Amino acid sequence: MPNPQLNAHGELTHLLTTEGLPRETIEHILDTAASFLEVSDRSVKKVPLLRGKSVFNLFFENSTRTRTTFEIAAKRLSADVINLDVARSSTAKGETLLDTVDNLVAMHADMFVVRHNASGAPYLIAEHLRRTGRSEVHVVNAGDGRHAHPTQGLLDMYTIRHYKRDFSQLRVAIVGDILHSRVARSDIHALKALGVPEIRAIGPQTLLPVAIEKMGVRIFHDLREGVRDCDVIIMLRLQNERMNGALLPSAREYFKCYGLTTEVLALAKPDAIVMHPGPMNRGVEIASDVADGAQSVILPQVTFGIAVRMAVMSILAGN
């Protein structure tokens, strides 16, 4: 089955998921992001690659960090950026998602950055654009339900490559609420594509997807055993707003069993890095002295995220 993100020449036309992305495509995005990183240090933080293009941010779910970094990235590429006020948009008045898209296409939209609480919404838009002959309009998935968050996955890969250089010898731990995490899924697919030999999924049974081992990960229910000798530890936010039912006894109990403290971090390799997609719940999934410590690369992740999103949009616009 053809990859809906790639055209007939194997070029990226949408970014919907890291699943099935060829290694060379991921590496091209990371290499392009590296070239954009220095733009942030200029006095004039702009390049003209998207001049004259219109980027519509369609965020049907709350976000601050992701929406802001996408907006900054598009503006640094000199695009015209339009943020749709979803709470007051026509969709809130009963208009369908695809009717909204059609109206925005009629306003000469060139790219949609879509966050939606329904898994598959960005795919639906991309397929609709294909069927209606608007393949020149691109879709970037900024997070759909529990399914995927590909730019977060890619910026995580950029962060790991920045600090570790080579993926082929790494042991990576992903800790926490993997069941509800689109970031975890995007990370796992990207790590596998880049050749990471050991990926560990760590969490209570209630917060791990059924048959997650089929994704090629090792399961650990004990945090200490799971992080032992790891090179990279990716902590996940405890996603209370996505939970249905009592999956945990309490936040305090969760921190006691799965919170990353300096004592637990000491079991990992001495040069291990600590990551978190944010926003953090301090004292729930991570201790403050770890989040603010020397091994934390959480703030650099945010900086790298702008460059990665610039890379994605510039590559799509060029195809």
Any known ligand binding at 228? Answer: no
Cα distances (angstroms) measured from residue 185 to each of 54, 145, 147, 149: 30, 12, 7, 8
Q: Is 65 annotated as a binding residue?
A: yes
Same fold, 23-147+303-318 and 150-296: yes
242 annotated as ligand-binding: no
What is the C-alpha to C-alpha distance for residues 55 and 112, in angstroms, rounded to an integer?
6
Is 17 marked as binding a ligand?
no
| For helices 23-36 and 298-318, angle between their N-to-C axes, nearest 10 degrees | 110
278 is in an annotated binding site: yes
The answer on whether 239 is annotated among ligand-binding residues is no
150-296: CATH, from 3.30.565.10, 3.40.50.720, 3.40.50.1370, 3.40.50.12780: 3.40.50.1370
Q: Which of 169, 129, 126 is nearest to 148 (CA)?
A: 126
115 is in an annotated binding site: yes
- CATH of the structural domain 23-147+303-318, one choice from 3.40.50.2020, 3.40.50.300, 1.10.1500.10, 3.40.50.1370: 3.40.50.1370
For the chain, what's the residue count?
A: 319
For the chain, what are the domain ranges? 23-147+303-318, 150-296
Locus of tokens 């997650």: 212
Strand arrangement of the beta sheet that strand 138-144 belongs to: 80-83, 54-59, 111-116, 138-144
φ, ψ dihedrals at 171, nearest 5°? -120, 115
> What CA–CA distance (Å, rounded) separates 72 from 201?
33
Each residue's pLDDT, cut to its tens digit, for the chain (319 residues) gives 568 899 988 899 999 999 999 999 999 999 999 999 988 888 888 999 999 999 999 998 888 889 999 999 999 999 999 998 775 665 666 678 999 999 999 999 999 999 999 999 999 999 999 999 999 999 999 999 999 999 999 999 999 999 999 999 999 999 999 998 999 999 999 999 999 999 999 999 989 999 899 999 999 999 999 999 999 999 999 876 544 455 677 778 889 999 999 999 999 999 999 999 999 999 999 999 999 999 999 999 999 999 999 999 999 999 8
Please indicate if the annotation marks 189 as binding a ligand. no
Question: pTM of the predicted model, to two decimals?
Answer: 0.94
The response to whether 48 counts as a known ligand-binding position is no
**Secondary-structure percent of the chain, ordered helix, strand, coil, rounded to 5:** 45, 15, 40
162 labelled binding-site residue: no
Per DSSP, which regions of the chain are E strands?
54-59, 80-83, 111-116, 138-144, 171-175, 198-202, 218-220, 232-235, 273-275
User: Nearest-CA neighbor of 55 among 33, 29, 84, 32?
Assistant: 84
